[in-house]
Chains A and B, each alone.
Chain A
Amino acid sequence: MKKIKLMINGDEVDAEINPRTSLADFLREKCRLTSIHLGCEHGVCGACSVLLDDHPIRSCIMLAVACEGSEVHTLEGLDDDPMIVILRDAFHEKHGLQCGYCTPGMLITARDILKRIENPDERSIRQELSGNICRCTGYVGIIRAVERAAEAIKDKGLEIP
């Protein structure tokens, strides 16, 4: 077991961790952050995406023990994040989810797309979302939601950090 200290959603967390525990299992099982959805557990589906030091990563192929000193944000910690607020509305409006299993990962990835790419077109949204698998929607609703969120950010003049 190894002792680590890290920030999760703004709170300092001390934990004793078995080195083989993934960040995903640690967040879901120990911290009870259930927005962490485990789909494939080998880095293919994107459902477990979280922000590590503000960059999206796949928490199923990240060791919790390696996160010592890092800052982790899950969807729970982004409740009032202005971009997530816009994305949530857009996913609602454009039918960007059905069962919801992929949704936390989709939102984390979509937020990152909107941060990095100004005026993303459908092609670039499709390419950037290719690492997040959805088995219900056929993606069309999700892509429209991201497009809608990009428009809304522009309309509101929201400054992207």
Chain B
Amino acid sequence: MKPRAFEYIRPGSLEEAVKIIADGGGMAKLLAGGQTLLPMMNLRLAWAETLVDISRLPELQGVEETANEVRIGAAVCHAAIEDGDVPDPSNGLMRQVASQLAYRGVRNRGTIGGSLALSDPSAEWPTVLTALDAVIELYGPTGVREVAINDFVLGAYDTAFEEDEIIKSITIPKHSTTTRWGYFKTCRKAGEYAASLALIVIDHERDVQRAVLGATNGRPWDLPKTAVAMVDAHEWLPQKEHEVKAMIAADIEDNECKLNAFELRIHSTTILRAARETLK
């Protein structure tokens, strides 16, 4: 359970970090919190000739709040989000998500940018940031570019950034204080990766209604019919539950990827519970 030997570099700037990975021929890997990479290296499922430690880079730490959005540095850890140390653009949703993410010892190290860079389908942030319409800022040899989350998370562990690019920040539009959200994560043990993950966000003031399913076998699924069904929901009446169940079934049916009986049941139930949470 020890990683094979590697070199360790802690660059002083983002520019320097990009240069090292660009020159590394794919064998130099970025290390942020290391809460997935280091276990994988211990298990020898991953390896690198050089680890480039970007966890302390000042360019990746800051948080910027403007009238309409919050920009979170990629190396901000989950615990800082959980504790409200960074402004919350999501009316409490992101804090709740962070508090259920793995364990506190992991949350103190693991970063939002690192989670997104790996984009494990069962991880929280790719799904949650999809529902919040985040924009990802990437820093590379030719400068900075921005990619909408929908164009960033392409599939399981598949993302739209190049090997010599670094996630610099994540910008999330500020949701109104009347935003209702429901979040439900199904896992057998608290803190585990999700077996299913669903999220509903209704912001009347900004005319946003989103329902998203995570922990699929690819990128997060949009559930537009379920979202619409939740727009006018104020009470969880039997009639509403019936309607929402039908819309969940329709959204799942619409997706080109077909679920087996177990997946169908666990995902349908998780979405329904997230919908019910929206009204709490």
Contact = CB atoms under 8 A, between A and B. Distances in A.
Interface residues of A, number: 34
Contacts of A22: 2, 38, 42
B8 A61 contact: no
A130 B8 contact: no
B120 to A, nearest CB: 14
B119 interface: no
Q: Is chain B's interface secondary structure helix, strand, loop, or mixed overall? A: loop
Contacts of B3: 20
Given A20-B4, A20-B6, A66-B10, A130 B191 contact: yes
Contacts of B191: 127, 130-131
B104 A112 contact: yes
B207 to A, nearest CB: 35
B109 interface: yes
A60 B34 CA distance: 11
Contact of B8 (A2, A46, A49): A2
B53 A66 contact: yes
Contacts of B2: 20, 22, 25, 41
A98 B72 CA distance: 44
Contacts of B31: 63, 66
B237 interface: no
Interface in A42-91: 42-44, 46, 49, 52, 55-58, 60-63, 65-66, 68
Given A20-B6, A42-B1, A61-B34, A109 B106 contact: no
A61 B114 CA distance: 15
Contacts of B105: 46, 49, 56-58, 109, 131
Most buried by A among B1, B4, B7, B31: B1
B8 A55 contact: no
A111 to B, nearest CB: 11
Contact of B108 (A43, A44, A55, A60): A55
Contacts of A57: 105, 108-109
A18 interface: yes
B54 to A, nearest CB: 11
Contacts of A55: 79, 108
Nearest to B189: A130
Contacts of A132: 103
B257 interface: no
A126 interface: yes
Q: Is chain A's interface secondary structure helix, strand, loop, or mixed overall? A: mixed
Nearest to A54: B108
Interface in B11-52: 31, 34-35, 38-39, 42-43, 51
B39 A127 contact: no
B56 to A, nearest CB: 9
A105 B109 CA distance: 16
Contacts of B200: none
Most buried by A among B10, B31, B79, B108: B108
13 contacts: A20-B4, A22-B2, A43-B35, A55-B79, A56-B104, A57-B109, A61-B34, A62-B34, A63-B38, A65-B8, A128-B104, A130-B190, A131-B103
Interface of A: 2, 18-20, 22, 25, 40-44, 46, 49, 52, 55-58, 60-63, 65-66, 68, 109, 112, 116, 126-128, 130-132
8 closest cross-chain pairs (CB), A and B: A131-B103, A41-B1, A19-B8, A130-B190, A42-B39, A61-B38, A55-B108, A130-B191
Interface of B: 1-8, 10, 31, 34-35, 38-39, 42-43, 51, 53, 55, 79, 102-106, 108-109, 189-191
Given A19-B5, A55-B79, 9 more contacts: A20-B4, A42-B39, A42-B43, A43-B38, A49-B105, A61-B109, A66-B53, A116-B104, A131-B102
